[in-house]
Each structure stands twice: as C-alpha cells, then as structure tokens.
Amino acid sequence: MFFVTGDVHGDLKDFNSRKFGRIKKTDYVVVCGDFGLLWNGTKDELRAIEKLGKKKYGILFVDGSHENFDLLAKYPVTEWNGGKAQVLSGNLVHLMRGQVYTIGGRKVFTFGGGESSEREMRTPHKTWWDEELPTMDEMQAGIGNLVANDYNVDYIFTHEAPSAFRRFLEVGEYDLNALNVFLECVREKCKYKKWVFGNYHINRRLSAEHEVVFDHVLKLD
C-alpha cells in the first residue's frame, strides 16, 4: 500500500503527526515534493535522514521547488525497481524525474520539480536553485519511459499540477510554466488510476483520478 502525503519542508515531526495509520514492512510512504530534509547539510539533518532510512517501510519522495539540489546531486544515481533513483539512506529514496518504477506490483511514474514564486527574494545556491525546473532532457526521458510502457501506469506522483488544474488551485492571476504544460501533455496521453501532487498546501479531491495533498494522507492499495 502507498501512503501519499504532501510537503513536509524538512520537519521530521510531520512523520509522527500525520495520520498514516498502521504501516507494514511492505508499504511505502510517498512525499509529493518539498521534502526539504536535505537543506543545510548539518549533522542534525544527516542524523534525521539516517533515522528515516532505518524505518521498516520505504519512504519515497519526488523533489519539489524547495530542495537543496547541490546536496541532492552528491548522492549517486542507481537503478531501483526499474528506474533511476538516489538512495539517501537505507529505505529513504529520491524518485527521479521522468522515471517509471514497479513498486509493490504497481507501475509508478514520477516527475518532481516546481517553480518558486518568491525566487527573486531568495539567494542562488543557498535558498534557490535553477534545477527546481526540469530540463528538456528530463522531459524527453519521461516521455521515452512512458512510451516504453505504452503510456499506461497505475499511479503518477508529482509536485506540480498539470495546467488544466491550475485554475482550481490558484487565486487571481497565475502563469503557467513549462512543467505545467509538460504535465498536461502527460495527462492527455497517459492512462492511470490516480495522480497525486502536492505544492499548493491544500488537501482537495479534484476528480476521481486527481488529488492534491498537503498534510493529509491518501491511501492507495
């Protein structure tokens, strides 16, 4: 079973305060971006990462718009359940952009990344990174992996939303970015049972197949 939640922003207490229920050894907790526990590279952070990696179940996350991509890049890329991933510690794994994994008998497509709306007030390589938005190579790799799977997966986990849902999630004017448009192309072509994303700090069911999560936990079998 997948226990899917949203942005934790580096707060280890969230893993205790959110209502996950009984998690078995064969289950997975999925964080839809802004994991944020790898931010300053302090000893406390590294101890927290090691602690999460020792959980009996898997903790998986896609990257969001508030990650330290310089620190994340130091972890080697490895083959994991059919796709490319970075193992931070034990059972704590970063699911990379555009990958298709087979996890618990389910096919899962992941695509992290986002765009900081307040990036003008942030400091490059300290509180903001160019890498928060995907490259053309990452998007092409994602399409290639979906083509190899006949555009058919069980679940999609992202941080950002396809462009069709932005009007339900933003108040006032908003700008679409290349990632929103790319995810909209995926939405139009791909068959899937459920798509879950984070980023917007709300919990809302948008349709039978689409849900945005923040501090709630969505259970998928």
For residue 128, the model assigns a pLDDT of 79
15-62: pLDDT as tens digits:
888 989 899 999 999 999 999 999 999 999 999 999 999 999 999 999
Contact 96, 77 (CB under 8 A): yes
Q: Please count the structural domains in the chain.
A: 1
52-99: pLDDT as tens digits:
999 999 999 999 998 999 999 999 999 999 999 999 999 999 999 999
Residue 147, phi then psi, degrees to nearest 5:
-60, -45
> Residue 184 belongs to what H/E stretch?
helix 178-189
For residue 172, the model assigns a pLDDT of 55
Which structural domain, as residue segments, surrounds residue 105?
2-220
CB count within 10 Å of CB 149 equals 16
The token pair that represents 187 in the structure block: 């939405």
Q: What percent of the chain has pLDDT over 70?
A: 98
CATH number at residue 112: 3.60.21
DSSP code, position 77: P
Q: Answer yes or no: is pLDDT of 114 > 80.
A: yes
